[in-house]
Amino acid sequence: MITAHARAVFGTNEPFKATTIQRRDLSAKDVLIEIKYCGICHSDLHHVRGEWREETFPLIPGHEIAGVVLEIGSEVTKYNVGDRVGVGCMVDSCRECKHCQNGEEQYCIKGNTMTYGAIDRFGERTHGGYSTHMVVTEDFVLRIPDSIALDVAAPLLCAGITTYSPLHHWGAGPGKKVAVVGLGGLGHMAVKIAHAMGAEVTVLSHSLAKKDDGLRLGADHFFATSDAETFKKLAGSLDLIVNTVSAKVDLNAFLSLLNVDGVLVNVGAPAEPLSVNAFTLILKRRSFAGSVIGGIRETQEMLDFCAQHNIGPDIEVIAADAIDGAYERVLKSDVRYRFVIDISTMATK
Ligand code: NAP
Ligand code: ZN
Ligand code: ZN
C-alpha cells in the first residue's frame, strides 16, 4: 500500500482537515501518479455541501488532476515513469457496454467509476485529487501535452472537457452563434474553446462586472442577465447556448433566445429541478439537452486541441490550507477563473 497525504472533510460542509489515505498496490495495468496540482470544481462544493446526495465520509474531492508518473505496473504500455499525465472525473468503467466500446465511458450502462466518492471494482472507496498520490488504471490516464504547464492543465480535465464535448457535439464553429451562461470555471473555458472553434461567442453573466475579462477571454459580446433588455435584444438570435450556472436559472428566458432548431445544453448541475415551458420549445423546434464530462478519447482530443490553440484556464494557485477560503469565494462567484491546489503544500502535513 502507498500512503498519500490528503485533505478531507469528515462531515457535510465541514472544514478541510489534513489526513492520510492508503492507495492500492499497483496491479499490472496501474500507474502510480505523484499529483502536482488539482483544480477545485464547483461539483466538489456540491458534494462537500451535501447538495446532491448523502455522502460517505471522509470525503476527499478532486477530479482535475495533473501530475507525473512515479511507477508503472508490469503490463503498462501507454506510460513511462516521468510522463506528465492527468486524471479527470472517471477512473474506470465496465469497458464492455456499447458506450464504453464507443469511447463514451461517461455514459457507461453499468455506471462509470467516479474519481471520488464511488466504490471501485476492488470494492474500495475512491478518493480524489486533493491528495499527493493516486493509483489509476492506464486506460483512464491522459497525456498532458508538453506545452501545457501542469497547473494550467489540471482544470482542463473537468472544466475543459465538460465544455469541449457539447461544443463539439453540437457543432460550434464558424457561422454559429454560441452563448455561454455563467462566467466561472466551466464558463470561461467554454468561451475560450468556442472562440478557438471559430464560433461567434456571447457571454450571459449575472452582471457586467466580468465584461472586460469576458471580451479578453475571446467573447464577441457580453450581456448582463439582470438587465431585461438583454432578453429583448437577443430574442431568437442564438444557435447554441451552454448553461454552466451552478444554481437554478429561468430556463425559459434563455430558451427564448434560441433561433429555430437552436439547442440549450445544460452542463450546470443544480440540485433543484429546472422547469421548461413546452411552448418555448415547440414554437421554434428548440431542444433542451444535457451533457456530462466527455469520454477518455475525447478528453485527449481536447487536451491536444488546447495545446494546438494555445489555450488553457486562467488560474489562481492556492496552498492546501486555503481550500476553505477558496470555496467561500467560489460560492460568491468570485473565482477568476479556477482555483488550483498546489499539492506540494500538503506533502509535509
Ligand atoms: P463556478 O466556477 O462556480 O461558476 C458558476 C458560474 O455560474 C458563476 O461564476 C456565476 O457566473 C454563475 N452563477 C453562480 N451562481 C449563480 C446564481 N445563483 N445565479 C446566477 N448565476 C450564478 O462553477 P463551475 O465549476 O464552472 O461549475 C458550474 C456547474 O457545472 C456546477 O453546477 C457543477 O457541478 C457543474 N458541472 C457539471 C459537469 C458536467 O459534466 N455536466 C462537470 C463539471 C461541473 P456569473 O458571475 O458570470 O453570473
Ligand atoms: Zn468537475
Ligand atoms: Zn460500460
DSSP characters over 170-219: TT-STT-EEEEE--SHHHHHHHHHHHHTT-EEEEEESSSTTHHHHHHHT-
Expressed in angstroms and rounded, the spacing between residue 209 Cα and the centre of ligand 2 is 24
Q: Is 46's C-beta closer than 6 angstroms to any atom of ligand 1? A: yes
Residue whose CA is at the smallest distance from ligand 1 atom 12: 182
Strands (E), the chain: 2-8, 17-23, 30-39, 65-72, 84-87, 90-92, 113-114, 133-137, 142-143, 177-181, 200-205, 221-224, 238-243, 258-266, 287-290, 315-318, 338-342
The percent of residues above 70 in pLDDT, for the chain, comes to 99
Q: Is 246's C-beta closer than 6 angstroms to any atom of ligand 1? A: yes
Q: Is 29's C-beta closer than 6 angstroms to any atom of ligand 1? A: no
- Per-residue pLDDT of 117-166, as tens digits, reads 999 999 999 999 999 999 999 999 999 999 999 999 999 999 999 999 99
pLDDT band at 348 (very low <50, low <70, confident <90, very high): low
C-alpha closest to that of 128 among 35, 225, 31, 49 = 35
Residue written as grid cell 443544480: 270
pLDDT for residue 5: 98
Would the pLDDT of 334 be above 60?
yes
Would the pLDDT of 347 be above 80?
no
B/e letters for 280-289, b = 16+ CB within 10 Å, e = fewer, are: bbeeeebebe
Would the pLDDT of 51 be above 60?
yes
Q: What is the CATH number of domain 2-158+314-346?
A: 3.90.180.10
Q: Is 247's C-beta closer than 6 angstroms to any atom of ligand 1? A: yes
**CATH class for the domain made up of 160-290:** alpha beta
pLDDT for residue 88: 98
Expressed in angstroms and rounded, the spacing between residue 162 Cα and the centre of ligand 2 is 8
What pTM, to 2 d.p., does this model score?
0.98
Mean pLDDT to the nearest integer, 252-264:
98
- Per-residue pLDDT of 300-329, as tens digits, reads 999 999 999 999 999 999 999 999 999 999
Would the pLDDT of 31 be above 90?
yes
Mean pLDDT to the nearest integer, 276-282:
97
Distances (CA, A) of 129 to 28, 40, 64, 154, 286: 22, 10, 7, 10, 39
Q: How far apart are CA 100 and CA 93, in angstroms?
A: 7
pLDDT for residue 150: 98
Compute the mean pLDDT over every residue in the chain, rounded to the nearest whole number. 97
Residue whose CA is at the smallest distance from ligand 1 atom 44: 43
Expressed in angstroms and rounded, the spacing between residue 188 Cα and the centre of ligand 1 is 10
- Per-residue pLDDT of 194-210, as tens digits, reads 999 999 999 999 999 99
Residues in the chain: 349
| DSSP β-ladder status, 287-290 and 315-318 | unpaired
- Where in the chain is CATH 3.40.50.720? 160-290
Would the pLDDT of 24 be above 70?
yes
Expressed in angstroms and rounded, the spacing between residue 236 Cα and the centre of ligand 2 is 31
Q: Is 47's C-beta closer than 6 angstroms to any atom of ligand 1? A: no
Mean pLDDT to the nearest integer, 266-287:
96
pLDDT for residue 34: 98
Would the pLDDT of 349 be above 50?
no
Q: Is 326's C-beta closer than 6 angstroms to any atom of ligand 1? A: no
Would the pLDDT of 184 be above 50?
yes
Expressed in angstroms and rounded, the spacing between residue 341 Cα and the centre of ligand 1 is 19
Mean pLDDT to the nearest integer, 65-86:
98
Mean pLDDT to the nearest integer, 67-96:
98
